[in-house]
Structure 1
Amino acid sequence: MAEGLRERKKRQVKQRISDMATGLFLEHGFVTVTVADVAELADVSVNTVYNYFPAKEDLFLDRMKDVTQRVARYVRARDPGESAAEAVLREIRAAVVSVSPEFGLMDGFADFMRVIEDAPTLKARLWYLQQEVLQSVVATLREDTGAGEDDPLPLLVGGQIAWIESALVGYVSQEMMKGRKAVDVSHDALGVLDEIEGLLGRQVLNYARRAAV
């Protein structure tokens, strides 16, 4: 369905508020900047900001909702003959090879992470978002395998599959904050992915294998 004029204007206003808020947070820090500061710069009311972003943390992490579903999407889109873990490893490797900003491989990511490091409420929100990643992966595995609610395997395997992404992102964040170039971190991250795969057991690597055509 084509986007209507009203929806487009709302999306543009939301993006404008988010972009201005991010600029303020990067320059002055998350704790120092208030929602009123953001509203003033964006030339909107404080209520308007809250209409689009229920909490201050949402202004900085507004794109994370899609990220929480990323690993589950990889699992659902796995190829015939491919397991859930293999699909996730393949997709993340492809993103790392292409030096994808989705995984923090971009200029400015270190500044983004420093804002989070200096703000306890942002770190708490990130932890919550990581739980959403796990929940979405577990739900997808349970649905795809037909596992019952009392079957622990979707939770046990899903935890390790979600860890693949979190471990890789953790490594990239650590290295980018050292001031390294994204292309260099990308090269080393491929080796880290190999190490991650080597740490996964065969049961995890074979779980939820899609039937070959």
Structure 2
Amino acid sequence: MSEMGLRERKRQRMYQAVSEVAIGLFLERGFDAVSVAEVAAAAEISKPTLFRYFPAKEDLVLHRIADHEGEAARVVVEGRAEGLAPLPALRRHFLDGLAAQDPVTGLNDHPAVRAFYDLLYGTPSLVGRLYGYLERAEAALAEALGADLDARLAAGQIIAVRRILAEENWRRIAAGERVADVRADAVAAAERAFAVLSAGLPRLT
């Protein structure tokens, strides 16, 4: 492996390790009760080093889902390679995520996942920062769809639908329902939502 490849792997390990330390502290004591200096000390790095990796305190938490930022765009590109139009590819991907209980779909009741999403949705500054991630996901998807106004409008609708579906699943899980009780409704809701998208965005089908 090249030196650049090794350097990038080391960098990614650092991101992961510091994020996990921070999330552990936040889950234990609450996001607002833990300072960045305390996170840096627990991770055994300096505060300036921490800020080189994570520009904002909220990014320490959101790093865990940052790899989903370009996910919809990747699905579209990979779907085209398989001969699938964008919306069928995105529909299949979301339904596959529900089947796998991917936490990003909201359909996961593992205690560690529940604790993380309780932290995320229960902290206003994290919710605010999350919308920045969603905006970047929307921009990446728009680029994959063609980068014109129509693509931007479509991307906004698609990202909103995925977010609302996941939030509804998570709302029910957080209220105490089991995955087994939510799954059929989650699949049906996703099917309806993508049918509506397909009707309104025929060029993507």
Q: With structure 2 as the length reference, what TM-score do the two structures score?
A: 0.85
Distance 1:118 1:100 in 2: 20
For residues 103 and 67 of structure 2, the distance between their equivalents in structure 1, rounded to whole angstroms, comes to: 14
1:117 aligns with 121
How many corresponding residue pairs? 200
1:192 aligns with 2:189: yes
One-letter identity of the residue aligned with 1:138: A
Partner-residue secondary structure (3-state), 1:25? helix
Asked whether the equivalents of residues 165 and 186 of structure 2 are also in contact (C-alpha less than 8 Å), the reply is yes
- 1:208 aligns to what? 204
Partner SS for 2:204? coil
Identify the match of residue 158 of structure 1 among 144, 155, 159.
Answer: 155
Q: 1:9 to 1:155 in 2, by over 3 A?
A: closer
- Distance in 2 of aligned mates of 1:112 and 1:72: 25
What one-letter code is carried by the residue in structure 1 that aligns with 2:184? H
The AA in structure 2 aligned to 1:111 is A
Per-residue deviation, residues 24-68 of structure 1 (Å, max 9, x unmatched): 111111111111111222222212221221110110001333211
Q: Report what 2:99 is aligned to.
A: 97
More helix by share: 2
Change (3 A) 1:98 1:119: closer
Residues 82 and 10 (structure 1 numbering): CA distance in 2 closer, same or farther, change over 3 Å?
Answer: closer
Q: 2:32 maps to which residue?
A: 31
1:139-197 deviation line (CA, Å, top 9, x unaligned): 11115xxxxx4xx3212222222223112211122122112333443333111112212
* Aligned residue runs from structure 1 range 40-51, under 5 A: 40-51=41-52
Preserved contact between residue 71 and residue 165 of structure 1 (Cα < 8 Å):
no
Residues 106 and 168, structure 2, Cα contact 8 Å, conserved in 1: no
Amino acid of the residue matched to residue 73 of structure 2?
Answer: A
Q: Please state how far the C-alpha of 1:201 moved relative to its aligned partner.
A: 4.9
* Partners of 1:21 and 1:93 in 2: CA distance: 32
* Structure 2 CA distance for partners of 1:158 and 1:7, relative to 1, 3 Å: closer
Match of 1:133 in 2: 137
* Matched-pair contact (CA < 8 Å) for 2:104–2:166: no
- Identical counterparts, % of pairs: 30
Q: Which runs of 4+ in 1 moved over 6 A?
A: none
Look at both structures and tell me which one has the larger radius of gyration over its CA atoms. 1
Q: Which runs of 5+ in 1 are unaligned?
A: 144-148
